Structure 1
Amino acid sequence: MVRNPERRTALVDAAIEVLARDGARGLTFRAVDTAAAVPNGTASNYFASRDDLLAQVTGQIHQRIAPDPDEVAEVMAAPPSRELVVELMHWINRRVTENRTGYLAMLELRLEATRRPELRAELTQVMRATLEENIRFHVEGGLPGDRTAVLLNYLAMTGLMLEQLTLPGAVPVEETDGLISALVERTLGPDGA
C-alpha cells in the first residue's frame, strides 16, 4: 500500500464529499479520484476495497465534524445553567447548517450501515463512543440534566438535523430556535435537574 498520509486524508475527504453528494451508490474509486483531482487509480492504490474506504470515512468523518476545542472552551466558559444547555443545542444546530456536507455524509453512512454488517458494527461503536463522550461532557461539566435528559436531547436534535438536512423547510426555520428552547425546557423539567 502507498504511504502518503496527506494524500490518504485528501482521498477520504473527497470520499466524504462524494458520499454527501451522490450517496453510497455513487461512492466509487473513480468518483473519489475525480473529487480529489488525482489520476484515476489513485484511490485503489490507497484502499484495498470499497469497504476499506467506507471504514476510513467512518473513522475520519467525526474528526471533520467535531467542534474546535477552542470553540468548546469558549462556549463552556459560561457557568453551567439551563441557558447554557439551550446555547449548546443552538450551537449544534448551527454547526449542522455550516457543515451540511459532513452531516449528509454521516446520514449516508448510516443508511449504508443498514446493508453492511461490518460497517454497522464499526459505525455503531463509533457513534456509541461519541454519545458516551457527550454524556460524560454534560455530566462532568455540571450542566443541568441527567443521562436520560442528554439522551432525549440527542434523539430530538438528531431528528431535527434529519429534517433540516433532507427536507429543508419541513420544520420552518423561524420556529427552530423556539423548538430547541422548548426541548431543553421540557427535557430538563421545571427544576432543571
Structure 2
Amino acid sequence: MRQNPERRAALIDAAIEVLAGQGARGLTFRAVDKEAGVPVGTASNYFANRDDLLMQVNGRVFERLDPDSTVIDASMALPRTRASVDRLLHEMVERLTAFPSGQLAMLELRLESARRPELRAAITEQVRANLQENIDFHLASGLPGDADSVVLLYLALNGLIVERLTLPDLFDEARANALITELTERIIQNP
C-alpha cells in the first residue's frame, strides 16, 4: 500500500464526495479516482479493498467535523447559561451543515453498516466516543443541563440536520433556528 498521506487524504475526501453524491453503491475505486482527478488504479494502491476505504472514510468525516480549538476556546469564554447552550447549538448545526457531503456520506455509511458488522462496530465506537466527549465537555464546562440533556439534544439535532440536508424545503433556516431555540428551552432547565 502506498504511504503518501496527502494523496491518501485526497482520495478519502474524494470518497466522501462520491458517497454523498452517488450513495454507497456508487463508491468504487474508479469513481474515487475520477473524483480525485488521479489516474485510474490510484485508489486501489492506497486501500486494500472497499471495506478498508469505508473504514477510512468513517474516520475522516469525524476528523473534518470536529471543531477546532478556537471554537472550543470561544465556547469556554461564554457565561454558563441556557442562552449560551442555545448559541453553541446554533453554531454546531451551522458547522455541521456547512459540510453537507460529510453528513450525507455519514448517512450512507450508517446505512451500509447495517450490512457490514465491522463497519457498524467502527461507527458505533466512533459515535459513542464522540457523544461521550460532548457529554464530558458539557458537564466539565459547567453549562446547565445533565448528561441526558446532551443526549436528547444530540438525537433531536441529528434529526433536524438530516431534514435540512435531505428535505431542505421542509424547514427553512429561520424555522430551523427557531426549533433549535425551542429545543434548548424545553430540554435545558435554568439552574
- The amino acid of 2:118's aligned partner reads E
1:40 is paired with a residue whose SS is coil
- The amino acid of 1:113's aligned partner reads S
CA distance in 1, matches of 2:71, 2:187: 25
Deviations 1:152-190 (A, max 9, x none): 00000011011101111212332122211110111123x
Equivalent positions of 1:1-193 (< 5 A) are 1-189=1-189, 192-193=190-191
CA distance in 1, matches of 2:140, 2:75: 15
Stretches of structure 1 that go unaligned for 5 or more consecutive residues are none
CA distance in 1, matches of 2:162, 2:97: 11
- The amino acid of 2:176's aligned partner reads T
CA distance in 2, matches of 1:114, 1:98: 27
- The amino acid of 1:35's aligned partner reads E
Stretches of structure 2 that go unaligned for 5 or more consecutive residues are none
- The amino acid of 2:44's aligned partner reads S
- The amino acid of 1:17's aligned partner reads E
- The amino acid of 1:119's aligned partner reads L
**Alpha-carbon offset, residue 71 of structure 1:** 2.0
CA distance in 1, matches of 2:100, 2:61: 12
- Greater mean alpha carbon deviation, residues 169-178 or residues 129-138: 169-178
Say how many residue pairs are matched.
Answer: 191
1:30 is paired with a residue whose SS is helix
CA distance in 1, matches of 2:62, 2:172: 28
CA distance in 2, matches of 1:78, 1:110: 34
Deviations 1:27-50 (A, max 9, x none): 100000011111000000110100
Deviations 1:98-134 (A, max 9, x none): 1111111111111111111110011000000000000
Q: Given the two structures, how large is their TM-score scaled by the length of structure 2?
A: 0.96
Q: Given the two structures, how large is their TM-score scaled by the length of structure 1?
A: 0.95
Runs of 4+ off more than 3 Å:
none
